[in-house]
């Protein structure tokens, strides 16, 4: 076997590890608080990418979820602010009643335009804007939920070369949203909830 | 970034430039993610092949432009939206306004007017409306027409009644409108001290001295530079001690005008302009 073939083989084996991701976007609905906790609790405080989350919740919600996750997790968790610079190693949640979008200059913007898939914030809106800003250096994840929001956005991430992951429906509190995403996208990975956190840790690479 | 998406970004910028030169509406300094999303939305329904083709159609087809204009200016609003905000207005702003012989209010980016009528109702209940002039402005004349008419869908009135009560409303909300078929027609007495006019925050100037400026969920669509311009415009338009109200996710904190205003309400974006305050 010559050297170039050998190199090919090695690079094929470590294909995923070679990539540096800028961000992970997560969409979650019914059953989301528990699922998020399962994933975020195991993460270290020095991730080399940001995590940006849309969770469907009541428009009058306060920031209780952010505060409780932040106090329990090692990684910093906060609600996204308008025009805020997105930093590695921080988990951001979309504020209730606003769509959250990502700008090319790595900042957040917001919108109160119409609900999408009956939701504001909508997963599709975040995922599509993240795809344009970050792909292919983006991971999109759909978790538990009772509707189909996020399928379109995940498809966009896939089309633009990002990595797509869906929670295995049988491990979801409500399997509709993962099932809809799987039907629409053919995701790169379908993972049980417990394996998603460790998978993200594997993506946490030191920059060369 | 691959070449296709890089080219697409250039096409978006050129399209916004074309709209500005042809029609005078300047979206060039709006937050890009949201404006591109809305252009793509119209594009996907147009049957056109490229954004450049869309630009050509926009230049040559005014009606097509009018349709896109409605997409580009977000016109989602409601009466007494964020009831806690209106409750706080009663608590912190109204007592100060009561010290003024005459009150000028500017609703900047008023859209179809739901919040303007909310403010009129609130001022009326506080006994201030008769001494008030409200300037209600928007960049979009089609929504201004709707605001002027003050006719809203009856379906929304149930939500609005709940908002009104949560905002500290003290009367029966149904007294403020007449129900006719599917519509709720706002009472004429609420309209008499409102001036509706087109005004573009991006390109137009100061037009009066205000005691209160309400501009909620408008600045979120603007770039930092454009926000800075608008804060300057508001600063110039406000009397010393006048109030500026923003949406719950908007802040003046990162602007150079930050030191010229003081946040006077815990949990709400109600700012007061510093400077010598003349009490009468």
- For this structure, is A129 an active site residue? no
Each domain of chain A, given as residue ranges in start order, spans 21-202
Reading the block at residue A25, the tokens are 């976007």
Q: Give the mean pLDDT of A132-139.
A: 96
What percentage of chain B exceeds 70 in pLDDT? 98
Secondary structure string (H, E, C) spanning B12-79: HHHHHHHHHHHHCCCCCCECHHHHHHHHHHHHHCCCCCCHHHHHHHHHHCHHHHHHHHHHHCCCCCCC
Please report the DSSP string for B106-169 in residue order. Answer: EEET-TTSHHHHHHHHHHHHTT-GGGEEEEEEES-HHHHHHHHHTEEEGGGHHHHHHHHHHTT-
> Which of B33, B51, B218 best tests the A interface by mutation, with the highest count of A CBs <10 A?
B33
**pLDDT over 60 (residue A2):** no
Q: Does ipTM surpass 0.90 in this model?
A: no
pLDDT of residue A11: 45
- Superfamily of domain B83-273 in CATH is Vaccinia Virus protein VP39 (3.40.50.150)
**pLDDT over 70 (residue B203):** yes
Nearest to A114 among B36, B76, B221 (CB): B76
B104 touches chain A (CB under 8 A): no
What percentage of chain B exceeds 90 in pLDDT? 90
Question: What pairing do the DSSP bridges indicate for beta strands A189-191 and B103-108?
Answer: unpaired
A122 touches chain B (CB under 8 A): no
- Phi, psi of B11, rounded to the nearest 5 degrees: -60, -40
pLDDT of residue B277: 53
pLDDT of residue A4: 55
Q: Give the mean pLDDT of A181-204.
A: 95
pLDDT of residue A82: 93
**pLDDT over 50 (residue A12):** no
pLDDT averaged over chain A? 91
Reading the block at residue B94, the tokens are 């109204």
Location of each CATH 3.40.50.150 domain in chain B: 83-273
**Chain A partners within 8 Å of B37 (Cβ):** 101, 125, 128-129
Secondary structure string (H, E, C) spanning chain A: CCHHHHHHHHHHHCCCCCCCCCEEEEEECCCHHHHHHHHHHCCCCCCCCEEEEEECCCCCCCCHHHHHHHHHCCCEEEECCCCCECCCCEEEECCCCCEEEECCCCEEEEECCCCECCECCCHHHHHHHHHHHHCCCEEEEECCCCCCCCHHHHHHHHHCCCEEEEECHHHCCCCHHHHHHHHHHCCCEEECHHHHHHHHHHCCCCCC
Nearest CA in chain A to B255: A83
pLDDT of residue B280: 44
pLDDT of residue B76: 87
pLDDT of residue A59: 85
Cross-strand partners of A116: A119
- Model confidence band, residue B209 (pLDDT cutoffs 50, 70, 90): very high
pLDDT of residue A6: 52
A81:B34 CB<8 A: no
Nearest-Cα distance to chain B for A113, in Å, is: 6
- Superfamily of domain A21-202 in CATH is Methylesterase CheB, C-terminal domain (3.40.50.180)
- Model confidence band, residue A60 (pLDDT cutoffs 50, 70, 90): confident
Closest CA to A90 of A144, A138, A23, A168: A23
- Model confidence band, residue B4 (pLDDT cutoffs 50, 70, 90): confident
pLDDT averaged over chain B? 94
- For this structure, is A29 an active site residue? yes
- For this structure, is A58 an active site residue? no
pLDDT of residue A208: 42
Calpha distance B19→B39 (Å, rounded): 12
Residue B150 CB-half CA count within 13 A: 23
Q: Give the mean pLDDT of A156-172.
A: 97
């Amino acid at each position: 076997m010559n050297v170039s073939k050998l190199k090919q083989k090695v690079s094929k084996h470590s294909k995923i590890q070679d990539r540096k991701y800028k961000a992970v976007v997560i969409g979650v609905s019914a059953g989301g608080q528990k699922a998020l906790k399962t994933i975020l609790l195991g993460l270290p405080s020095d991730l080399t990418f940001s995590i940006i989350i849309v969770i469907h919740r009541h428009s009058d919600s306060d920031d209780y979820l952010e505060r409780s996750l932040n106090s329990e997790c090692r990684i910093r968790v906060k609600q996204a602010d308008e025009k805020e610079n997105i930093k590695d190693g921080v988990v951001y949640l979309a504020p209730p009643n606003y769509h959250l979008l990502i700008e090319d200059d790595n900042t957040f913007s917001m919108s109160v335009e119409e609900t999408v898939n009956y939701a504001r914030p909508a997963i599709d809106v975040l995922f599509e804007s993240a795809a344009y800003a970050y792909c292919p250096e983006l991971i999109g994840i759909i978790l538990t939920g009772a509707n189909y929001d996020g399928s379109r956005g995940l498809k966009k991430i896939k089309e633009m070369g990002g990595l797509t992951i869906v929670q295995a429906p049988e491990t979801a509190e409500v399997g509709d949203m993962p099932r809809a995403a799987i039907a629409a996208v053919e995701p790169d990975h379908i993972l049980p909830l417990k394996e998603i956190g460790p998978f993200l840790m594997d993506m946490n690479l030191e920059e060369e | 970034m691959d070449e296709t998406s890089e080219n697409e970004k250039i096409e978006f910028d050129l399209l916004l430039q074309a709209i500005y030169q042809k029609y005078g509406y300047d979206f060039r300094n709006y937050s890009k993610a949201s404006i591109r999303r809305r252009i793509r939305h119209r594009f996907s329904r147009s049957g056109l092949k490229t954004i450049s083709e869309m630009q050509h159609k926009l230049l040559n087809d005014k009606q097509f432009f009018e349709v896109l204009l409605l997409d580009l200016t977000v016109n989602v609003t409601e009466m007494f939206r964020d009831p806690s905000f209106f409750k706080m207005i009663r608590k912190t702003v109204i007592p100060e306004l009561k010290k003024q012989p005459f009150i000028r209010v500017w609703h900047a980016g008023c859209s179809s007017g739901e919040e303007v009528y909310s403010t009129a109702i609130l001022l009326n209940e506080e006994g201030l409306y008769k001494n008030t002039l409200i300037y209600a402005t928007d960049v979009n004349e089609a929504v201004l027409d709707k605001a002027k008419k003050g006719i809203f869908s009856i379906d929304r009135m149930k939500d609005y009644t709940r908002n009104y009560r949560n905002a500290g409303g003290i009367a029966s909300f149904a007294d403020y409108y007449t129900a006719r078929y599917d519509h709720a027609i706002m009472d004429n007495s609420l309209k008499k001290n409102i001036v509706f006019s087109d005004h573009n925050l991006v390109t137009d100037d100061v037009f009066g001295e205000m005691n209160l400026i309400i501009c909620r969920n408008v600045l979120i669509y603007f770039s930092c530079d454009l926000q800075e311009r608008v804060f300057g415009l508001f600063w110039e338009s406000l009397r010393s001690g006048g109030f500026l109200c923003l949406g719950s996710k908007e802040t003046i904190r990162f602007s150079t005008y930050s030191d010229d205003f003081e946040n006077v309400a815990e949990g709400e974006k109600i700012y007061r302009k510093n400077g010598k305050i003349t009490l009468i």
